[in-house]
């Protein structure tokens, strides 16, 4: 029996790279200023005359702006074409949907793999350290440049959800509604630990060359693949791993060797190997670091509710997945509690699923309907047709 | 305030390496035969005249025979001197306690770092693939060589617990009682996945040299350290990590770089760095592989209870830790269910702790008292004074 694959027709997308002039630097949380800032983005749909139907989607750690259209490197469908498309919760026939590659990324926005125009060399480790707040600030510059004062919604999952929280905290007057999916208000010790394993794997690879591998014409592929494998385990629930693979073998018997005997080994190796074709190792270092540094409360006297005290007019939707152990439901509840304490309007749902964190990207009708319902209600309030 | 450290006086230990002659090979599950087998062991206490007070303790993945005496490489106290000692649950004044380095290990028993006497070269990857069953069979040869027909008890935690199950399945007539702590009857997909990350990290290190690093005078230290770091995350519960480290920094502020900013990073780096001084990378590959291959039911038509059908006279004690997510309580319950189905006597307790798998090695009075109670009751049945 063949699995029925839902057809996602290619939808029209426009995009490009917004190059800010050198005299419009990005102010960074580290205290440094970064210029010239470049932001790569894609858009779906049309901005209405009132400029009131714009949605910014913030992507996750290894995502990019190719959310609902074919990825130019891998040729694969967009990472959220299950959610963004005609008749789907984020409908380009109704909304103007923007997705930008994050600051520090490697798909066109300024990042460690970009060329520093002052030296004509790749930045590498001379790229400044960044935070989730910096990512949101860079997006805010892009949104302003696109002529949009107020976003109808800012939507994101995982690291994208953290950017959503940062938007609500830093630019509440520019956000009508906010959707935070499978995220956390801070990185836990375990989150940091997994990232540190990945970073050490990359930096242990002699082809990392102290970060200057591009100049040397090599890439730390093995280290980056190991980092991806370690991270990937955290994206799946144990139940999902067991159901998907269990102890199933690749062939009839054990190899009595170190080949990929088990299907789960082969799967992880594939995840590692395919990742290095599309992702830059230094970007991985910088973005994981930004995540580890993320602790929204710490910017507000250690009180998360204070982060949202200016966001009382924002409509929030917080969603979590019951089997997500990377950013567990308890962390989403922390967000909701803080929103409530700050007097914000927040709806919350825990999606029952055994797919783990990865549910963000998988067939999960309960997520779609929660998102659809929230967007429809917010659109009505906003007076969108 | 200084923490009170319990004093563990150095207890007397004897030990050595038992060298089996080449005409007494070890039969391996792979079908191969291995000779000459060498088994390194330590003993504590005195074997009684009836030879009825012998306890075999089986160690975990990275453990060794130096269970209750100073480690000759690290100079640290034995890994279980909280459990083995005068007045402790495993009391050398009462029992003759044996701990042997596992087959495939690197502390004196035959393993990939041993010299192959036929070639006068280090085995490296020419060492045969081994299983948990092979480890138990090698121990059984040693126990016989030491003149012991029947063990009063075989005791082990983690991988040691798997060896205990294997002893009960394969040599039930030579075991009076069996204690299996924090183990599982099979390796799950997630267990295999974590091990595969570790193996890939080791094999990605160019100093691994296809397994022939000893001959080349190098060691894959960076890869092995990454493997240890990844594994170490699974030994601690998220709660323990959060309580121990949270988001505490190493110094006053963020470094805005890739140094170990967070205490949890520094801790993991230390775990990795200190591990490579005492452990052989190929041993890590072989032993993790043996663990991944472990599935006791598969040797018995897929029915775990059948593994224990000859073990009805063995007294079993199964213990798990409530916050252990490496080998969860549900896996211990699977063992107990199978023991019950096979008509074996089994007592079971879940130790309430938030320390995770690592509770095996930590101050955990409930573990000590469960172990003490079971041993005392079994000793009475055995007529031991």
What does the pLDDT look like over A26-82, one tens digit per residue?
A: 999 999 999 999 999 999 999 999 999 999 999 999 999 999 999 999 999 999 999
CB-CB neighbors (< 8 A) of A112 in chain B: none
Task: State the pLDDT confidence band at A4, using cuts at 50, 70 and 90.
Answer: very low
Catalytic residue among B52, B283, B357, B358: B357
Contacts of B247 in chain A (CB under 8 A): 186-189, 192, 295, 298
Indicate the CATH number for domain B191-288.
Answer: 1.10.1740.110
DSSP A178: E
Q: Do B241 and A199 touch (CB under 8 A)?
A: no
Residue A43 near residue A325, CB atoms below 8 Å = no
Alpha helix (H) residue ranges in chain A:
132-145, 159-170, 189-204, 213-216, 221-235, 238-244, 263-275, 281-293, 304-307, 329-341, 365-382
* Under 8 Å between Cβ of A223 and A208: yes
Closest CA of chain A from B364, distance in Å: 22
* Chain B residues with beta carbon closer than 8 angstroms to that of A265: 192-193, 196
Nearest chain B residue to A125 by CA: give it: B257
Q: How far is A288 from chain B (nearest CA, A)?
A: 10
Confidence of residue A2 (pLDDT cuts 50, 70, 90): very low
**Set of chain B residues whose Cβ sits within 8 Å of the Cβ of A242:** 188-190
- Positions of A annotated as catalytic residues are 158, 324, 357
Preferred mutation among A28, A221, A247 to probe B, highest tally of B CBs within 10 A: A247
Q: For residues B202 and B285, is the Cβ–Cβ distance under 8 A?
A: yes
B261 contacts A30? CB cut-off 8 A: no
Rounded to two decimals, the ipTM of the complex is 0.94
Which residue in A254, A289, A295 is closest to B293 by CB distance? A254
Q: How many CB pairs under 8 A join A and B?
A: 143
What is the chain B residue with the closest CA to A247? Answer: B189
Q: Which residue has the tokens 């995009």?
A: A15
Nearest CA in chain A to B260: A196
Which residues of chain B carry a pLDDT beneath 50?
1-7
Determine which of B33, B189, B232, B273 to mutate to test the interface with A (most A C-beta atoms within 10 Å): B189
In terms of DSSP bridges, do strands B96-100 and B38-44 run parallel, antiparallel, or are they unpaired? antiparallel
For tokens 């923007």, name the residue: A98
Cα A234 to chain centroid distance, Å, stands at 15
Q: How far apart are CA A198 and CA B317, in angstroms?
A: 39
Is the pLDDT score of A141 beyond 60? Answer: yes
Find the closest chain B residue to A227 by CA distance: B197
Domain extents in chain A: 14-187+299-382, 191-287
pLDDT at B39: 98
Q: Which two tokens stand for residue B90?
A: 């495993």
Its sign, for the CA torsion B91, B92, B95, B96, is positive
Residues of A in contact with B242 (CB under 8 A): 188-190
Q: Which among A129, A201, A244, A282 is the top mutation candidate for probing chain B, defined by the most B β-carbons within 10 Å of its own β-carbon?
A: A201
State whether A258 and B285 contact (CB < 8 Å).
yes
CB contact under 8 A, B188 and A241: yes
pLDDT for A12 = 86
**Cross-chain Cβ contact A226/B226 below 8 Å:** yes
pLDDT at residue B331 in the model: 98
Among B193, B208, B245, most A C-beta atoms within 10 A, so best to mutate, is B193
Q: What is the pLDDT of residues B176-208, one digit of tens each?
A: 999 999 999 999 999 999 999 999 999 999 999
For residue B62, the model assigns a pLDDT of 96
By Cβ distance, the residue of A189, A204, A262 closest to B245 is A189
Q: Write out the CATH class of domain A191-287.
A: mainly alpha
Question: For residues B355 and B303, is the Cβ–Cβ distance under 8 A?
Answer: no
Chain B: closest CA distance from residue A381 (Å): 40
Per-residue pLDDT, B385: 80
What integer best gives the mean pLDDT of chain A?
95
Q: Quick: pLDDT tens for A207-234.
A: 999 999 999 999 999 999 999 999 999 9
CATH number of the domain at A14-187+299-382, please? 3.40.50.1820
> Are the beta carbons of A247 and B289 separated by less than 8 Å?
no
pLDDT tens-digit readout, A171-197: 999 999 999 999 999 999 999 999 999
A343: burial class by Cβ within 10 Å (0-12, 13-18, 19+)?
A: exposed
Q: Is the per-residue pLDDT at A8 higher than 70?
A: no
Fold classification of B14-188+296-382 is Rossmann fold (3.40.50)
* Structure confidence at residue A155 (pLDDT): 98
Pairing of β B54-58 and β B115-116: unpaired
Assess whether pLDDT exceeds 90 at residue A7: no
């Amino acid at each position: 029996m063949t699995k029925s694959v839902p057809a996602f027709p290619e939808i029209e997308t426009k995009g490009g790279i917004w190059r800010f002039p050198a005299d419009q630097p990005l102010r960074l949380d580290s205290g440094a200023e970064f210029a010239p800032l470049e932001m790569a983005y894609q858009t779906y749909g049309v901005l209405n005359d009132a400029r009131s139907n714009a949605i910014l989607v913030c992507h996750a750690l290894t995502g990019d702006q190719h959310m609902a259209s074919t990825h130019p490197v891998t040729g694969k469908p967009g990472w959220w074409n299950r959610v963004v498309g005609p008749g789907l919760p984020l409908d380009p026939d109704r909304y103007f949907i923007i997705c930008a590659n994050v600051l520090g990324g490697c798909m066109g926005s300024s990042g460690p793999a970009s060329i520093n125009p002052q030296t004509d060399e790749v930045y590498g480790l001379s790229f400044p350290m960044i935070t989730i707040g910096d990512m949101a600030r860079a997006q805010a510059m892009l949104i302003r440049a696109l002529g949009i004062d107020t976003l109808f919604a800012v939507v994101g999952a995982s690291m994208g959800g953290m950017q959503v929280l940062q938007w609500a905290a830093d630019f509440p007057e520019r956000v009508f509604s906010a959707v935070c999916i499978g995220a956390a208000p801070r990185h836990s010790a375990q989150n940091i630990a997994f990232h540190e394993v990945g970073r050490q794997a990359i930096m242990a690879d002699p082809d990392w060359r102290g970060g200057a591998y591009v100049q040397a014409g090599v890439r730390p592929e093995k280290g980056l693949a190991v980092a991806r494998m370690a991270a990937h385990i955290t994206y799946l629930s144990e139940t999902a791993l067991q159901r998907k693979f269990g102890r199933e073998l690749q062939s009839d018997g054990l190899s009595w060797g170190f080949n990929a005997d088990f299907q789960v080994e082969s799967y992880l190796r594939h995840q590692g190997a395919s990742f290095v074709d599309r992702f830059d190792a230094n970007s991985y270092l910088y973005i994981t670091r930004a995540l580890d540094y993320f602790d929204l409360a710490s910017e507000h006297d250690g009180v998360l509710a204070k982060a949202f005290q200016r966001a009382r007019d924002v409509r929030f939707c917080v969603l979590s997945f019951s089997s997500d152990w990377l950013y567990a439901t308890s962390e989403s509840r922390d967000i909701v509690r803080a929103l409530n304490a700050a007097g914000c309007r927040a709806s919350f749902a825990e999606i029952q699923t055994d797919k783990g964190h990865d549910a963000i990207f998988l067939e999960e009708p309960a997520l779609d309907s929660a998102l659809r319902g929230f967007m429809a209600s917010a659109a009505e309030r906003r007076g969108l047709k």
